[in-house]
Amino acid sequence: MSTKKDSYWIPLADLMTVLMVIFLFMSLSYMIGIKKRQVEKDNLIQEFQNSKVDLLQELRLEFKEDFNTRWNAILDTSNLSIRFVDERILFDYNKADIKEEFKTTLAEFFPRYLKIILQKKYADKIAEVRIEGHTSTEGGYIYNLKLSQDRTRNVMEFLLNQDCYKNLDSLEKKRLEYLMTANGLSYGRSLDRNGKYTFNSNDSADNSKCRRVEFRILTTSDDLIKKAINNINK
């Protein structure tokens, strides 16, 4: 009887061993999968950061001789925005027509700007290129909203009449038309004397800094983050 009992328990023990080995392999596979997805997430985030740094460096190198000495423009490193801040050359007071001096600046700036943002390496990194118009805090918000919208629309129209745009191939034109938007923001993002948003600083607005035109690059960081989260949740 004892022999039969022993022969029964030996296969059962072997079965438990096999199950434990299978469970171990499943656990290891799961841990390896998590590690792999974490690496993919880290790589995506690093790729986004590298692209943003590359864009910033290219903008700085391309325009460093022009920002302060010729155009009185500022590169905001926090949001990839180029601010044209010399209100004397942008528009006449309460007018939307571009002044001749600013037309000259835009004609010099835009071809070089296009060479950077239309590079193939940024094709899936740039989500939008905004032309933003900002006004002073004088007058009503809605009045300034219309004024800023008229100004950015005129800037857009001027740029798309330049040879650098007309000479693009059809695919590049479609891409640029997809990326570029004209946004009039009234005085909703007014700046204080230190160039900080008054909404955050709670300081009074400096109208000489509020009147400006910005070219802002928005990256596809949101898409990259969503992709990373999806990879983790798989």
Instruction: Kindly report, residue by residue over 22-37, the tens digit of the pLDDT.
Output: 777 777 666 776 666 6
Section 52-58 average pLDDT: 91
Q: What percent of the chain has pLDDT over 90?
A: 62
What is the band of 170 on the pLDDT scale with cuts at 50, 70, 90?
very high
Does residue 165 contact residue 186 with C-beta atoms inside 8 Å? no
Longest dimension (CA), the chain: 109
Tell me which of 13 and 168 has the higher pLDDT. 168
pLDDT digits (tens, 9 = 90+) for 176-232: 999 999 999 999 999 999 989 999 999 999 999 999 999 999 988 756 555 555 554
pLDDT at position 124:
87
72: left (phi over 0), alpha (psi -120 to 50) or beta: left
pLDDT digits (tens, 9 = 90+) for 113-129: 999 999 999 998 899 99
Section 7-13 average pLDDT: 58
- Total-model pTM: 0.76
Taking Cα atoms as reference points, which of 102, 91, 56, 103 lies closest to residue 77? 56
Residue with tokens 């061993």: 17
Q: Which amino acid is at 9?
A: W
pLDDT at position 44:
57
Q: What percent of the chain has pLDDT over 70?
A: 78
What is the band of 41 on the pLDDT scale with cuts at 50, 70, 90?
low
Q: What is the DSSP string of the chain?
A: -HHHHHHHHHHHHHHHHHHHHHHHHHHHHHHHHHHHHHHHHHHHHHHHHHHHHHHHHHHHHHHHHHIIIII-EEEETTTTEEEE--HHHHB-TT--SBPHHHHHHHHHHHHHHHHHHT-GGGTTTEEEEEEEEE--SSS-HHHHHHHHHHHHHHHHHHHTTSHHHHTS-HHHHHHHHHHEEEEE-TTTT-B-TTS-BHHHH-PPP-HHHHSEEEEEEEESHHHHHHHHHHHHH-
pLDDT at position 183:
96
